[in-house]
Homo-oligomer: A and B are copies of this chain.
Amino acid sequence: MGAAAAADAPVVAQGINGSLTLAVAGAGAAIGIGMIGGKAVEAVGRNPGAFGNILTLGIIGMALAEAVAIYALIIAFGGR
C-alpha cells in the first residue's frame, strides 16, 4: 500500500496485501518463460542436433520475458 495512503480514507480489501504489479506481471512472465522452455525441450527432443541454436534462441526469449518481471520488481520496490 505504501505510506502515501491517506490515513483517514477508508481502507478496503484489507485482508489482501501484496503488489498487484509484481503478481500479475510476474505470473505472465513466468508463463511466457515456461512456454519458451517447454517448446525448447520439445524441440531438442525432436532434433537433438539443434541444441546449440535452440539454447541461444531460448535464452534470448527467456531473457526478454524475464525482463518484464524485472520491470515489475522495480515498480514494486518503488512506491508502486
Which residues of A are interface residues toward B (Cβ below 8 A)? Answer: 1-2, 5-6, 9-17, 20, 27-28, 32, 34, 80
Contacts and interface: CB of A to CB of B under 8 A. Distances in A.
**Secondary structure type dominating chain A contacts:** loop
Given A27-B28, A28-B27, A80 B15 contact: yes
A18 to B, nearest CB: 9
A13 B12 contact: yes
Contacts of A34: 32
Given A9-B10, A10-B9, A10-B10, A15 B2 contact: yes
A52 to B, nearest CB: 16
B5 A15 contact: yes
